[in-house]
Amino acid sequence: MTGDPLMARTPVCITGIGVVSGAGADVRATLQTFASGRPTPSNSLPFESTVACPTFQVSADLPILPPRYSNSRSLRLTMLAVQQAMESAGIAKFDPNVRVGICIGTTVACQLNNVPFYAAYRRDPDRPMDAVVDYLHANLARAVGDLLGTSGPRMTIVNACSSGTDAIGVAASWMRAGLCDVAIAGGADELSRVALAGFWSLGVMSQQPCAPFDRDRTGLNLGEGAGIIVLETAAHALLRGKTHQFELAGFGAACDAHHLTAPHPEGRGLGAAIAAALAQADIQPRQVAFINAHGTATPDNDRAEGKVISRIFGDGVPFLSTKGFTGHTLGAAGGIEAVFTLLGLREGWVPASAGFKNQADDVPLSPTRNRTEIRGEYALSTSLAFGGNNSVVLVRRVA
Amino acid sequence: MITAPAPAEILGIGAITPLGRDLAVIAKNLAAKPPARGEMLRVADDLLSEPAIARSMRRADRFIRMAAIAALDAWNQAAPSCADIAREQIGLIVTSGLGPHCRGFKFLDGILDAGDSNALPTDFSHSVHGAAASYIAGLLDLRGPSLTATDFEIGFEQAVLLAQCWLQQGTCRRVLVGSVEELGEPMISMTKKLLAGKESIAPAEGAVFLMLAPSDVAGIATLDAATVPDKTDLLASEYPSIAPDAGATPQIAAARSTTFTPYFGHSASSSAMQLLGALLSIPVVDNATTFRTSCGKVAALHVSMT
């Protein structure tokens, strides 16, 4: 048994989407923000910190969960997006006989990053350990599966900023292997004081609204949110009479093996990941209608990513970064931007790449400057991450 | 029960455990009396240095070192069977429950002591769960998909299951799969209170890595994962054990049910440790060629020695 690439090429249906971010509490609000072209960063933080930078926050009412789970904002963001995605898929509740995979990417939710608790613990080690108990029950995939009462494989991906994209790829792999009939996949992350201090310490944060791919970009803004898609086998969708508008046509992942925090300067791993996704879908670069780029607005990311897009796609494929609308939502970004990519194909347009004004000397291409009409079946969403991880989802509009 | 798509072959094993690093030493120690019940089981500090990778490990902490050394040993054992494999076709999956939590708390100390604007960037970059995978990929120049996942119980089974998917679907021709857990403060003190009344539980650390290949490649053993997540309470869950494989041959059915927990202790890497113990000792002690490790009712690994 040497591997069956044909099995990997079997498309997986996408039947539901849910998204919440600084760009909007659901799909409709997100599209309104995109149409307006006006991002809404906040200059105040929901926690105490001496770092002063714009952030993108979610103001929606989040679901109230059972006590064991309710202190995890990341889980509540996840559940809001899951509820939206299930509703759009026409699934009120899962049949116990249906095997449902749950794969969620995150960064913040996997660590005991509770600064107030830890500060209190340092003063009084005998204090109650409620925060630790909450943390031990906040594994996102496990908690979502428990809350939905599903049976099927579960996995929480902690691959830094590509986690949400990787989660979609893992879920598709399960489905193609016959491990589940339906999968809930994507990413979620809350705004965190620890992440804020961490990215500040690395010197990659901007004190202005971020400007991906711009000549004068100075770094990223942090955001929060969740993006979830419902994947389904064609047989299962057919069985419940659900027609699908989209397919996951390809996925690719590759590691730079270069540096803990910086991307390979020539985007070696990203290029390989894009090539793998195109090969899995059996299409040529010119068939891609647009690219939702990772575009964090850090000098290194945008330089490397711009080079790769130019090298593979030339200047004929529109691309944009939506982080000017959402900030960098870390483990959620891949899930959120997969949903944005589907929306671009569905609506037939993508917004101007928020924050971009001037062509950069070190980026060979410019992202969308205006609302741009989209024609074509395929679109890509890219993610780059700490550890040199690069992941790409390639989606297709089929109806 | 969910069954895996196709079994995988184990080509290499690497481990760093409270019983040692060298597999022969671990096997020898498994034949001796286990440590006293409830004792905290740490990896000896002198095992955390490896001259071959010393330069690359200058900034690495205990968590990363354990993972990197176990991965290196698995890689070296499997090297003859991987020589003609392009690095782009070798995947990496690392799983951990708590991740590099000691470095994470060190970063929190930096925030509290020096302020949010002055905490150390190396503490932040090394505190993310994926730090170990990044070091391993860099050391071994692994350029295929690289993934880190987290679960407090069945992360290793989940990782093996995904590796089987990748191998079957041709995503990779080899997958290096491992589990790593670190023991340190303040998590020891924090969890000690939660484990009151369960003094037999021995917190432990270590790492186990396996190099896996598709089943048409001759290996040390054949591995097949199955996971069945349920609503297990993390703090009340059973810990992994080894059992004869149901429905197997009489020889296998005669094999004893056992657990290696007294030797390797309890951690989110327990499943990987159980598998290691079984691979190293069950064929010797019971002459069994097939067995199963299970983590409570939620996951299992089926093994056939080849």
Could you write out the three-class secondary structure of A129-198?
CHHHHHHHCCCHHHHHHHHHCCECCEEEECCHHHHHHHHHHHHHHHHHCCCCCEEEEEEEECCCHHHHHH
pLDDT of residue B197: 76
Lowest mean pLDDT among A101-115, B50-64, B248-262: B248-262
Phi and psi angles of residue B167, each rounded to the nearest 5 degrees, phi first: -70, -40
Q: Give tens-digit pLDDT for B33-54.
A: 888 776 789 999 999 999 999 9
Q: Give tens-digit pLDDT for A335-361.
A: 999 999 999 999 999 999 999 999 999
**Range 64-103 of B in CB contact (< 8 A) with A:** 87-88, 92, 99, 101
Q: What is the distance between the alpha carbons of residues B172 and A259, in angstroms, rounded to a whole number?
A: 22
Q: Annotated catalytic, A137?
A: no
Average pLDDT over residues A51-70: 93
Tokens of A168: 């979609």
Lowest mean pLDDT among A87-91, B176-180, B239-243: B239-243
Confidence category of residue B298, pLDDT binned at 50, 70, 90: low
Phi and psi angles of residue A288, each rounded to the nearest 5 degrees, phi first: -85, 125
A19-23, A107-111, B274-278, range with greatest mean pLDDT: A19-23
- Asked if residue B305 has pLDDT above 90, the reply is no
Confidence category of residue A248, pLDDT binned at 50, 70, 90: very high
Cβ distance of B130 and A174 shorter than 8 Å: no
Angle between helix axes A140-148 and A73-89 (nearest 10 degrees) is 50
Q: What is the torsional sign of CA A231, A236, A242, A245?
A: positive
pLDDT of residue A158: 98
Write the residue in A153, A159, A257 that is nearest to B142 by C-beta.
Answer: A257
pLDDT of residue B2: 47
- Asked if residue B235 has pLDDT above 60, the reply is no
pLDDT of residue B4: 53
Q: Give tens-digit pLDDT for A296-337.
A: 999 999 999 999 999 999 999 999 999 999 999 999 999 999
Q: Give tens-digit pLDDT for A93-134.
A: 999 889 999 999 999 889 898 999 999 999 999 999 999 988
pLDDT of residue A24: 98
Average pLDDT of chain B to the nearest whole number: 86
- Pairs of CB atoms within 8 A across A/B: 238
- Asked if residue A288 has pLDDT above 60, the reply is yes
Average pLDDT over residues B137-151: 97
Average pLDDT over residues A33-60: 96
The proportion of chain A whose per-residue pLDDT surpasses 90, expressed as a percent, equals 90
- Asked if residue B251 has pLDDT above 60, the reply is no
pLDDT of residue B76: 97
> Does the beta carbon of A136 lie under 8 angstroms from any beta carbon of chain B?
yes
Contact A7, B171 (CB under 8 A): no
Cβ distance of B229 and A142 shorter than 8 Å: yes
**Is the bond leading into B186 cis (omega within 30 degrees of zero)?**
yes
pLDDT of residue B241: 57
Lowest mean pLDDT among B5-14, B170-179, B253-262: B253-262
Tokens of A92: 């009120």
B45 CB-contact burial (10 Å; exposed 0-12 / middle 13-18 / buried 19+): exposed
Contact B52, B76 (CB under 8 A): no
Contact A253, B142 (CB under 8 A): no
Amino acid (one-letter) located at A48 = E
What's the Cα-to-Cα distance from B78 to each of A293, B66, B211, rounded to whole Å?
A: 37, 19, 7
pLDDT of residue B159: 96
- Asked if residue B237 has pLDDT above 90, the reply is no
What's the Cα-to-Cα distance from B216 to each of A1, A67, B258, rounded to whole Å?
A: 5, 49, 30
pLDDT of residue A3: 63
| C-beta neighbour count of A76 within 10 angstroms | 22
Give the burial string for A289-322 (b: 16+ CB within 10 Å, else e).
bbbbbbbbbbebbbbbbbbbbbebbeeebbbbbb
**Range 25-64 of B in CB contact (< 8 A) with A:** none
**Range 157-176 of B in CB contact (< 8 A) with A:** 158, 161-162, 164-173
Confidence category of residue B1, pLDDT binned at 50, 70, 90: very low
The proportion of chain B whose per-residue pLDDT surpasses 70, expressed as a percent, equals 87
Exactly one of A13, A161, A180, A210 is catalytic; which is it?
A161
Strands B90-95 and B174-181 come out as parallel
Lowest mean pLDDT among A35-49, B54-68, B156-170, B266-280: B266-280
Q: What share of chain B is helix, strand, coil (3-state, %, to 5)?
A: 40, 20, 40
pLDDT of residue A370: 97
Cβ distance of B141 and A49 shorter than 8 Å: no
pLDDT of residue B257: 62
**Range 79-118 of A in CB contact (< 8 A) with B:** 99, 107, 110-113, 115, 118
A43 CB-contact burial (10 Å; exposed 0-12 / middle 13-18 / buried 19+): exposed
Confidence category of residue B234, pLDDT binned at 50, 70, 90: very low
pLDDT of residue B125: 96
> Does the beta carbon of B105 lie under 8 angstroms from any beta carbon of chain A?
yes
Lowest mean pLDDT among A147-161, B116-130, B226-240, B277-291: B226-240
Cβ distance of A157 and B186 shorter than 8 Å: no
| C-beta neighbour count of A88 within 10 angstroms | 17
pLDDT of residue B242: 58
- Asked if residue B296 has pLDDT above 70, the reply is no
Average pLDDT over residues B263-274: 89
Confidence category of residue B97, pLDDT binned at 50, 70, 90: very high
* A197 to chain B, closest Cα gap in Å: 5
pLDDT of residue B229: 55
Q: Which residue of B1, B142, B153, B190 is the best one to mutate when testing the A interface, meaning the one whose CB has the most A CBs within 10 A? A: B190
Chain A contact set for B150 (CB, 8 A): 110, 139, 156, 158
Contact A188, A81 (CB under 8 A): yes
Q: Which residue of A has its CA nearest to B147?
A: A159
pLDDT of residue A327: 98
ipTM for the whole predicted complex goes beyond 0.90: yes
pLDDT of residue B227: 67
> Does the beta carbon of A389 lie under 8 angstroms from any beta carbon of chain B?
yes
Tokens of B22: 């060298």
